[in-house]
Amino acid sequence: MLPAVRGADVREVSETSSRARAALMLASAPLRRALHDASFAPSPDNLQPWRFEVRDSDTFVVHGRDPRAAYGPYDLYRHAYWTSLGGLLETIRISAAAHGQTVVIERDPSRSDESPSFVGKLSPAPEGASLTDLSRAIFWRSTQRRAMNPRRLGAAEKAALETSVGSGFQVRWLESPRQRLRAAWVNYLTGKLRLTTPAANQVHQRIVDFGNENPLGRRLSADRVPAGAVGVDRATEALMRWLLPRERLLAVFNQYLAGTAVPGLELDLLPGLATGAHFLIETTGDSPPAGIDDYLAAGAAMQRFWLKATSMGLQLQPTYMPRALLAYSKDRQGSPHEPRFSSDPAGWRLERSIVNGLGNLARDVGAEPTHIIFAGRVGRGAPPDRRSLRLPLDDLLVLPEPGEARD
């Protein structure tokens, strides 16, 4: 959410926004379209950790905004953040190609990995427009957290998805009833850990839109996850709405009144069984992904896979957290003082169970756990009628920083 401003700050923000919008008017139609499409790239819990700067008709800058302050323990190493930036940059490439443009994007070496910037320039493509099934799916791509058709994907569907990720990546499938149950159980444990971790519940308070400011936000939210899209029934949703601000009562409810059982059933176990397949996407190199560039490439593969699924009429739900816990666990092998998701021994035991469960699942299908860059479930079904939207493009525009060089 954007910070509240008052008084003189309102005038300053208004003037800055007006100047940024004026810069957007100088942009070519393909650039405006590409930035608009890019705003619909996925980000964890709809955080949208990026802003756009227009420098001239064909030149733009994407500024990453480190979301860790808002995302609490969910992405301490920024892997999901970098992956989402990679998905956004790939969306720009796909959109530009659909409008007859090629785009060259380079990371600004003067910027830190915490707040990277990417300078891009569009130019006419010799072959003209390349409107693909991926470009048509950009707006319609969304997260389906509810049950899907449990019928397995066909060989042609899986082959198309496997091809979409490109070289350097491969897809592993978990589709037998036993594999789906095991994957659903890992997700159930993950949900239990989320719901019993105070720092995580503080994040949930911020990112779930119950429609308090705008009743429409419960179904369609521009900067959060609509409560109606979370995946629970109305009774559980009402209980969540009442309990989340009451941390002590929430802790008692979860610990002594089986408060995690019903949400776990609705959010993880039943959807995990009612799906065409669970999937793992891994890198094929000798080494696991390490730095920002590896995760940017991973984000591009993620976005192509998700858009391809959408273009085929399939629904998808990502699962970020088990992979994040795996990274925490790997780093703790070198130092017991590395950060953990949870802050108590019971939570640490859950973390270990989740990491072991994911590792066993991965190895059973020939995957290397530390090479996994994206995971989730995919299947047939109707698209969700409650979903996250995006902030208007005007609200995502910024001006160059004072003293910043312009080409």
Tens-place pLDDT, residues 184-221:
999 999 999 998 888 888 899 999 999 988 888 899 99
How far apart CA 67 and CA 44 sit, in angstroms, is 10
How far apart CA 272 and CA 364 sit, in angstroms, is 18
Q: Which of 42-51, 172-181, 397-406 has the lowest mean pLDDT?
A: 397-406
**How many Å separate Cα 108 from the centre of its chain?**
23
pLDDT in tens, 215-248: 888 999 999 999 999 999 999 999 999 989 888 8
pTM over 0.75: yes
3-state secondary structure of 167: coil
Residue 337 scores a pLDDT above 50: no
Rounded average pLDDT over 381-405: 87
In the predicted model, what is the mean pLDDT of the chain? Answer: 89
Rounded average pLDDT over 2-6: 39
Q: Report the topology of domain 155-387.
A: NADH Oxidase (3.40.109)
Banded model confidence at residue 323, pLDDT cuts 50, 70, 90:
confident
Q: How many residues does the chain have?
A: 407
How far apart CA 145 and CA 135 sit, in angstroms, is 23
User: 370 and 328 in contact (C-beta within 8 Å)?
Assistant: no
The structure tokens listed for 163 are: 């091809």
User: How high is the pLDDT of residue 56?
Assistant: 94
What is 8-138's CATH number? 3.40.109.10
Of 202, 210, 218, which is closest to residue 343 (Cα–Cα)? 202
User: 327 and 82 in contact (C-beta within 8 Å)?
Assistant: no
Share of the chain above pLDDT 70, in %: 91
Banded model confidence at residue 338, pLDDT cuts 50, 70, 90:
low
User: How high is the pLDDT of residue 379?
Assistant: 99
pLDDT in tens, 153-167: 999 999 999 999 999
Residue 402 scores a pLDDT above 80: no
Q: Which residues of 90-117 are buried (b: 16+ CB within 10 A; e: fewer)?
A: bbbbbbbbbbbbebebebeeeeeeeebb
Residue 406 scores a pLDDT above 60: no
User: How high is the pLDDT of residue 382?
Assistant: 95
Residue 127 scores a pLDDT above 90: no
Q: Which of 48-62, 200-214, 378-392 has the lowest mean pLDDT?
A: 200-214
Helix (H) or strand (E) segment spanning residue 253: helix 247-256
Q: Which of 20-24, 330-334, 371-375 has the lowest mean pLDDT?
A: 330-334
**In the chain, where does the domain assigned CATH 3.40.109.10 lie?**
8-138
Residue 339 scores a pLDDT above 70: no
